[in-house]
Structure 1
Amino acid sequence: MLEDMRLFATIVEQTSLNKAAERLNLSQPALSRRLARLEAELEVDLFRRVGKRLELTPAGQVTYEFALELRRFHGSYLQKLNAYKSSEAHDATIGASLTTLQTTLPDLVKTMTEKHPNLEIKVVTGKSHEIAELVKERKVDFGIVASSVIDDPAITSLPLFDDHLILVLPRNHIILERTHIEMADLQNLPMILFSPGTWYRTMTDELLKKYNLKPDVRMEIDSFEAIIRLLSACRAGSLLPRSYLREQVLVDNDLYLAPIQELEETRRTTFLIHGDPAWLAPSTRFLIEETTAYFQRESVRYKST
């Protein structure tokens, strides 16, 4: 049936048996017999002749649409099947939380595509438990989330790196005139915080409550980039994940990191999660290995800075 539909679609697209036979490297009588056999099997006429041209009948139009769908699904199948034959990936779908998408994924995607120019990466966002479900349903190749999924035997969690919040301030902020900054200095400090409901904001609120601190919250924004750009203009500070604050980000926005020991209590591990190893294509296993190696290198570089 697959081969018959391929021949039929070629006849439709060439609009004549002679042209189709030439394209398919068949004789015209042989192609005519194949068409007649297909029509007999389906018990319908697929074409009507208009002069020297062939036009589709209504049944032929329906059959052609089916042939196109069959061609598309067959191509997709072959592409997926090829992933099990080679460790060279041509596409990857990664699941990530919104905060992971902003803090972790951009540099990873840039590194991976520079190393593999033909690699196409798609990203699906969601909450950690939603990404875990996508991994289990094999709708993503793997996920990167800021929590492990140790209670689900269908998912493997690989630790990538530890992160924690850190105080970031404009370099000309008056508080930096002090020789030592403590948690108490956050009291009434003008600040821009991440929007409520996110892990970073929840952790921030818990920390401030623990130390009975109330900063002067000027803005609540759900974009790390927007917070970074507004700090100097608002002469405000913020508590942001250390992993996001690359040296170039600090230089470009004239910012300074003010270490406070208590902020390391907000430590959290980001994990790569994937499903049953038996279902992983060699190309996916290769990308997972490269991803974990990338974060190992980044962790070493982060600790040295």
Structure 2
Amino acid sequence: MQEDLQLFAVIVEQSSMNKASALLNLSQPALSRKIAKLEEELGAPLFRRVGRRLELTRIGELTYDYAVQLRQMHRQYLLTLAEFKQTHRFTLTIGASLTTLQTTLPDLIQALTAGHPQIDIKAVTGKTHEIVSLVRDKKIELGLVASVIDDPQLHCVKLFDDHLELVLPRGRMLSDKLAIEDLNGLPMILFSKGTWFRTLTDELFDKFRLHPDVRMEIDSFEAILRLLHTCGAATLLPRSYIRPQMAEDNDLLIVPLPELKKTRRTTSLIHGDPALLEPVVRQWIAEASAGYAARSGLPLSARGGLPGQA
């Protein structure tokens, strides 16, 4: 039908069966038979004869608009196909939980696009179970979550273990040498509820029976950092988010507490069948896993990796 629709469009644009026949290098009887077949398939006439002229019926007008749209879509497809063949450009959609979106995803995207600028990255955010569902349903290619996912339909590539760190505004607290008990009653700005990060925080407070003075709950690490001096408050941040330059720029202190190192959570990349991923993406995942493993001092086999890769 699509071929006949394009023949019909040429007749409309030439305003003549004879002219269209000559342009298409097709005899007029053959062209007439194709239009009659198209009308039969559609179950309605496309033309009405007014004297010696052919005029479009209302269905003919709708069909012509549709035929033009199909032609434009086909041309765009051919252009996109040609570009893809030339540059091998493609889109990769990555889903990230809210905390990994702010801590880990920017570094991973930078590493990927630095070596492969032809990849267009799209990112979506959601809770961990939502990201897992999107990957499982093949609506996105990769998921970045602060968890180890045990799902027979998915491959889980462990990247690194994260833990909480106590962050204080320099010069605004009475002391930068604190014990875990000193968090009791301490003015704090915490991350909003509903994430693994806040769950770890609340579990820590419950374990040590701590009741800090919670001044605010915010879902942005950057906003929390900016408010620490203003509110004279401390906070707990994932170790993966903290950079030396960040602490210096915001005039902050990172106070080590042994108990916080036990608040561990593994950040992982999840995906479906590796064969459905582009080769450069599979290579990037393996390199990311190996890179995090090297920094942690653990062998790759202990950190996870793409199936079949050492």
Shorter-chain TM band: 0.7 to 0.9
Equivalenced residues, count: 288
Q: Which runs of 5+ in 1 are unaligned?
A: none
2:263 alignment partner, one of 259, 263, 266:
266
Q: State the Cα distance separating 1:186 from its structure 2 match.
A: 1.2
Q: Match for residue 163 of structure 2?
A: 164
Residue 216 of structure 1: which of 213, 217, 220 is its match? Answer: 213
CA contact (8 A) 1:190 1:215 kept: yes
Please give the per-residue CA displacement for 1:141-186, whole angstroms capped at 9, x wherever unaligned.
Answer: 1111111221x2111111012111111111223344x5x4321121
Q: Give, in angstroms, the shift of residue 192 of structure 1.
A: 0.3
Identify the range of structure 1 (204-213 vs 98-107) with the bigger mean alpha-carbon deviation.
Answer: 98-107
2:147 maps to 1:153? no
Q: Secondary structure at the match of 2:26?
A: helix
**TM-score, L = length of structure 1:** 0.78
Segments of structure 2 that go 5 or more residues without pairing to the other structure are 298-310
User: Could you say what secondary structure the match of 1:109 adopts?
Assistant: helix
* Mapped partners of 2:257, 2:158: distance in 1: 25
Structure 1 Cα separation of the partners of residues 225 and 27 of structure 2: 67
Deviates more, 1:40-49 or 1:162-171: 40-49
Shift of residue 227, structure 1, vs aligned partner? 0.6
Change (3 A) 1:45 1:124: same
CA-based RMSD of the aligned residues comes to 3.8
CA offset digits 1:245-292 (Å, max 9, x no partner): 1233223222221111110111111111111334x14x2x42143144
Give the partner amino acid of 2:111: T
- Alpha-carbon distance in structure 2 between the residues aligned to 1:272 and 1:121: 15
Percent pairwise identity: 50
Change in 2 beyond 3 A, CA 1:66/1:240 = same
1:104-131 per-position Cα deviation (integer Å, ceiling 9, x unaligned): 2223223333433332211222222222
- Show CA shifts across 1:218-256 (max 9, x none): 111111111111112222110011111123322322222
Opposite residue 219 of structure 2, the aligned amino acid is D
Q: Does 1:41 align with 2:37?
A: yes
Q: Which residue matches 1:104?
A: 104
Shift of 1:9: 5.4
Match of 2:188 in 1: 191
Change (3 A) 1:54 1:234: farther
CA contact (8 A) 2:146 2:266 kept: yes
**Shift of residue 135 of structure 1?**
1.2
Q: Which residue of the other structure, out of 23, 30, 38, is the alignment partner of 1:27? A: 23
**Residues 160 and 272 in structure 1, CA contact (< 8 A), matched pair in contact too:** yes
**Runs of 4+ with deviation above 6 angstroms:** 31-34, 73-80
Counterpart position of 2:244: 247
Q: Distance in 2 between matches of 1:227 and 1:62?
A: 56
Partner of 1:293: 287
